[in-house]
Chains A and B, each alone.
Chain A
Amino acid sequence: MSKQPILEIKNLHAGVENKKILKGFSLTINAGEVHALMGLNGSGKSTLAAILAGRDGYEVTEGTVNYLGKDLLELDPEERAREGVFLAFQYPVEIPGVNSTYFLKAALNEIRKHHGFQELDAIEFLNLVKDKIKLLDLNEDLLKRSVNEGFSGGEKKRAEIFQMAVLEPKLAILDETDSGLDIDALKVVSSGVNKLKRPDSAQLVITHYQRLLNYIIPDFVHVMADGRIVKSGGKELALELEANGYEAILKG
């Protein structure tokens, strides 16, 4: 069976005014795969995630990004989301006064509308949510609160994964979802992510720590330095990285 590519990034060069950040980044992710992206602070991981999600303020000077046969860079951020791109933020923002459940329902219904499905009403939505809450062992009270407002660092990360569970993206990008999680939360979040794994979707997991990869088993591990991937391998590459550090890999 030939693999269906979900995301194909070719020779991507991008940056902000006066600063090049991505310098020839290439990566192909196929359906059903989990890719881990590792790399030093400041190597450009979050920038890549932001560009994929469509944040304003970055300039792409070279290269292409193909997502399910479409030019991803041509789409507005909300269109990307409706087409199935999901970014779990490294630092999720707070939106005071906007109820979490209401927010998520609005988001899901935008995606459903886009695909020609009927919008869910409050009852249908709550039923759906109940299942996902169990899946992620989430504290239900969080859903009664405003979006991320006053959430602890760990709660914010969990809430991101919960959103992902509800929105069921085709391509999920997790930007350091493991940072700031205690070991129990890490297990819950990663088992959630594993359960969400489907043959027709893919995940790009950005992390600094091999320990996450004990729970989320990646098919591929990539090491990023100075705006591009410098080494790729299987999950053993993460172990090697942990044992020998970046220096050794970058030299080798």
Chain B
Amino acid sequence: MSTATDTIESLVKQEYKYGFVTDVESESTPPGLSEETIRFISAKKNEPTWLTEWRIKAFQYWQKMPEPTWQFVKYPKIDFQDISYFSQPKPKGDAPKSLDEVDPKLLEMYEKLGIPLRERGRLAGVAVDAIFDSVSVGTTYREDLAKKGIIFCSFSEAVHNHPDLVKKYLGSVVPYTDNYYAALNSAVFTDGSFCYIPKGVRCPMELSTYFRINAAKSGQFERTLIIADDGASVSYLEGCTAPMRDENQLHAAVVELVALETAEIKYSTVQNWYPGDENGVGGIYNFVTKRGLCKGKNSRITWTQVETGSAITWKYPSCILLGDGSKGEFYSVAVVNNMQQADTGTKMIHIGKNTKSTIVSKGISAGRGQNSYRGLVEIRKSAENARNFSQCDSMLIGAKCGAHTFPYIEVKNTTASVEHEASTSKIGEDQIFYCNSRGLETQDAVNMIVNGFCKEVFKELPMEFAVEAQKLLGVSLEGSVG
């Protein structure tokens, strides 16, 4: 009989189900990065001059930046000249004007992923913008939303149809000078989602973006911009998968959120990029900058993330709490297995008075995975009565993995209250045996224990996503009985 630990280890080794490649002809630029590449992308998208120039400035800035090395992850140097920066499914004739003209193979792929784009098969109550490699292939429920004045479309469309909004907010939360990958993204981003919720409107359905990297040797650099005007609220979901490939692929997205007075934005991610195989071959490098600005009084931004995929995850969804009384929240589950590495956490920057932030981070490490929580809580001088509560728990499955916690706290105002709690536990053979002795299989026991560990985060996810997240962790559904 194998020992319980071996069993646990084999159980967490689940195969990646989304690793298929879709056979569509695509049009890609040859690998390489120069001003020319950027002008090509910009021209391809028919962009206004101000945007082309913005990209070029970002590129020039990026060229002068050193590649960051402070993160607790290891990977071979990325050759930025070996990446194709633009890839789109080859249109049959002219660009598709409606879903009917989209390559059926693409629609089929989204069906396979459980993201039906066709009218009849739509996810009930969720509007989806699907991004395939570099371009948006379809946005659903658009008309329904338009009736309420909500704009939900691809970033490229927004550039053409809502240039004032884009110009006003693009780079206002994450300037291209922010960091290496944000600068790169600003230079080469190809598409993404755009969303604007007008004053006083509560978005009646979940909005969702689904990202898929398909083409080989391509990077994905998308840009998401969400603006909730005064009194507006929206819940936004993001999902992602990629085929299994032997080489690493780079995903360097930027997400900017702006919440005006009393507005609320809830941004949830279930990240399931291909993690590479058992030996660490292949997988996505997920280097993403996500930041929300609580600009207005009493606004609120909630980040919830379930990170299970990617060879390397490196991201810190953050909140700048500028408006008085604004709130920032970060709920995270990060799972690493085999050779995966994650360095993730958040930054809560308190600037306004009476601002509040909550951080709940659950790291699960299995195999030889390395999981780091890195979080900054900064209370500026102006932030009278700021409050923060952080809780970081790690769970280890097996003996070869690691969990690390790097909390940074900077307090410049004495009225602040900052609390930090941390714990590390091992999934115990005792716990598993206890479950076994009540009739539960080891797999179910592990699922249940892991699920219990992540409970505080899962309860923050919208229903549809909570279910998906639990499935992703191989976790059977925990009912809300009792």
Contact = CB atoms under 8 A, between A and B. Distances in A.
Interface of A: 53-57, 76-78, 80-82, 86-87, 89, 92-93, 95-108, 110-111, 114, 122, 125-126, 143-144, 146, 163, 167
A98 B437 contact: no
Interface string B419-444: 00000000011110111111111101
B438 A167 contact: yes
Contacts of B453: 96-97
A149 B372 CA distance: 27
24 contacts: A53-B437, A55-B437, A56-B429, A77-B437, A78-B440, A78-B441, A81-B439, A82-B439, A86-B437, A93-B434, A95-B448, A95-B452, A97-B451, A97-B453, A98-B449, A98-B451, A103-B448, A106-B440, A106-B444, A107-B438, A110-B441, A114-B439, A122-B479, A126-B482
B481 A105 contact: yes
Q: Which of B430, B480, B481 has the most CB of A within 10 A?
A: B481
A56 B440 contact: no
A218 B334 CA distance: 52
Given A78-B442, A105-B479, 15 more contacts: A53-B437, A55-B437, A56-B433, A57-B3, A77-B433, A80-B437, A95-B448, A97-B451, A97-B453, A102-B478, A106-B444, A107-B439, A110-B440, A114-B439, A126-B482
Nearest to B430: A93
Contact of B482 (A81, A102, A114): A102
Q: Do most interface residues of chain A lie in helix, strand or loop, or is the interface mixed?
A: helix
Given A93-B428, A95-B431, A77 B455 contact: no
B454 interface: yes
A102 B444 CA distance: 13
A101 B482 contact: yes
Q: Do most interface residues of chain B lie in helix, strand or loop, or is the interface mixed?
A: helix
A99 B451 CA distance: 11
B95 interface: no
Interface string B1-30: 101100000000000000000000000000
B434 A89 contact: yes
B482 A144 contact: yes
A77 B451 CA distance: 22
A115 B435 CA distance: 19
Nearest to A114: B439
A99 B449 CA distance: 10
Given A56-B429, A77-B433, A110 B481 contact: no
A93 to B, nearest CB: 5
Contacts of B448: 95, 98, 103, 106
A102 B440 CA distance: 12
A114 B441 CA distance: 12
B431 A93 contact: yes
Nearest to B438: A107
A146 to B, nearest CB: 7
A208 to B, nearest CB: 22
A55 B431 CA distance: 11
Given A87-B437, A106-B444, A100 B430 contact: no
B434 A163 contact: no
B276 to A, nearest CB: 29
Q: Which of A102, A143, A163 has the most CB of B within 10 A?
A: A102
A56 B436 CA distance: 11
Contacts of B1: 56
B455 A97 contact: yes
